[in-house]
């Protein structure tokens, strides 16, 4: 995901800025994968344990080394996320609008954001879609659409990702996976160009990061740091998370609090009971301890992983989204897994 003007390739959380501030090029993925509409098929088997086959890693790890390191890392991750509630598979629609521009190219932006979290027993699949209408200073309308899909193993380190952005008629794809190598991990990009990128050994993927936030919130932790990689760039971020005191789902007299008051009554009724935490995550370059955050995300998080609202600040662009409709899915039975 390429951000215009700064030379920085941001993560999927900066996708809106990429849509608004850059005209992105579309690579050869449509020829090989049958177009952006077929990107979902790229990961079709990932939830069942599949993996996008790209090419052999340039460095290998012995089976014994891999198992020792994986067992140690899994133990550490379980300790870190223990106490967090289980995530609820769900589908949500959000109303999106801009909160401010510091660029003169556009004067307004609004649209829809949808997110779906799917439980495949052995894997989580995260799907996101942005559909925005932009108006420039001449009051002409432009459209941007973005699709993101990633599959992340619940145990172990399998991570597969696919991203497609259609910005004002110009498109680009990011497709690849992550494998384990001697020095940690390697992201193997297939689109927009074949490229192997080494990543830090202590990174986590998006769903694990979300579970970390929930677990630390339940322990009343005020914050922590993680190295996060989501496949939307060729580097990881240092994510600094600050967690505020939890909010109850009502004030004791039956009145809901926070963003829940903005919901359609039918959607509000579907929300599970429980606590909501105001969370702030700042995303920094990993190797520059003095750089300002590339972007900041604030959101109201339910203890089962549902986000009621979020605000993203890219410096020259601010966007907000509020949950409008929610469909909580039934838990999957994984007895035989």
For the segment 238-266, the average pLDDT, to the nearest whole number, is 66
Round the average pLDDT of the chain to a whole number and report it: 74
55 domain-assigned: no
78 domain-assigned: yes
Residues 6+ apart with CB under 8 A from 93: 112, 113, 114, 323, 324, 325, 326
6 domain-assigned: no
pLDDT for the residue 233? 80
For the segment 8-23, the average pLDDT, to the nearest whole number, is 43
7 domain-assigned: no
Q: How many CA atoms lie within 13 A of 45 on its CB side?
A: 5
Are 41 and 186 a contacting pair, CB within 8 Å?
A: no
Give me the domain span that covers residue 317: 12-46+60-328
Are 252 and 259 a contacting pair, CB within 8 Å?
A: no
Q: How far apart are CA 115 and CA 127, in angstroms?
A: 6
Long-range contacts of 53-57 (CB under 8 A, 24+ apart): 54/176, 54/177, 54/188, 54/189, 54/190, 54/194, 55/188, 55/194, 57/179, 57/181, 57/186, 57/188, 57/196
Are 276 and 301 a contacting pair, CB within 8 Å?
A: yes
In this predicted structure, the answer to whether residue 274 has a pLDDT above a threshold of 80 is no
- The DSSP element (H or E) to which 39 belongs, if any, is helix 39-42
148 domain-assigned: yes
In this predicted structure, the answer to whether residue 305 has a pLDDT above a threshold of 70 is yes
30 domain-assigned: yes
Q: How far apart are CA 2 and CA 134, in angstroms?
A: 18
Query: For residue range 68-79, what is the model confidence (pLDDT) as tens digits?
Result: 656 555 554 444
Query: For residue range 82-136, what is the model confidence (pLDDT) as tens digits?
Result: 444 478 999 999 999 988 776 667 778 899 999 999 998 889 999 999 998 888 8
Are 129 and 152 a contacting pair, CB within 8 Å?
A: no
pLDDT for the residue 116? 96
Q: How far apart are CA 132 and CA 114, in angstroms?
A: 12
Of 287 and 39, the one with more pLDDT? 287
The total of other beta-carbon atoms located within 10 Å of residue 108's CB is: 13
Structure tokens at 41: 């098929």
54 domain-assigned: no
| Poorest-pLDDT segment among 14-23, 24-33, 173-182, 227-236 | 24-33
52 domain-assigned: no
Total domains, the chain: 1
pTM for this one?
0.74
pLDDT for the residue 205? 94
């Amino acid at each position: 995901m390429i951000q215009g003007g700064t030379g920085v390739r941001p993560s999927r959380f900066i996708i809106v800025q990429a849509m608004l501030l850059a005209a992105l090029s579309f690579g050869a993925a449509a020829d090989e994968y049958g177009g952006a509409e077929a990107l979902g098929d790229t990961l079709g088997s990932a939830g069942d344990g599949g993996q996008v086959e790209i090419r052999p890693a340039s460095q290998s790890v012995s089976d014994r080394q891999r198992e020792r390191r994986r067992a140690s890392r899994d133990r550490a991750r379980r300790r870190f996320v223990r106490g967090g509630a289980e995530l609820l598979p769900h589908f949500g629609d959000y109303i999106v609008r801009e909160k401010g521009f510091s660029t003169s190219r556009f004067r307004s932006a609004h649209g829809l954001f949808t997110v779906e979290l799917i439980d495949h027993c052995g894997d989580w699949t995260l799907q996101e879609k942005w559909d925005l209408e932009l108006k420039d200073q001449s009051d002409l309308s432009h459209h941007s659409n973005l699709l993101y899909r990633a599959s992340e193993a619940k145990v172990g380190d399998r991570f597969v990702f696919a991203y497609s952005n259609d910005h004002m008629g110009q498109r680009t794809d990011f497709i690849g996976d992550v494998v384990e190598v001697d020095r940690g991990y390697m992201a193997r990009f297939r689109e927009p160009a074949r490229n192997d990128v080494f990543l830090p050994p202590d990174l986590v993927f998006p769903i694990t990061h979300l579970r970390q936030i929930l677990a630390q919130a339940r322990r009343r932790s005020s914050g922590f740091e993680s190295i996060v990689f989501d496949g939307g760039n060729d580097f990881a971020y240092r994510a600094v998370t600050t967690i505020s005191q939890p909010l109850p789902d009502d004030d004791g007299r039956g009145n809901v609090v926070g963003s829940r008051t903005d919901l359609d009554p039918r959607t509000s009724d579907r929300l599970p009971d429980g606590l909501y935490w105001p969370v702030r995550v700042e995303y920094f370059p990993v190797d520059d301890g003095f750089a300002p955050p590339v972007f900041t995300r604030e959101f109201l998080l339910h203890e089962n992983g549902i986000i009621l609202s979020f605000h993203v600040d890219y410096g020259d662009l601010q966007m907000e989204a509020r949950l409008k409709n929610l469909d909580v899915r039934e838990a999957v039975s994984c007895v035989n897994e």
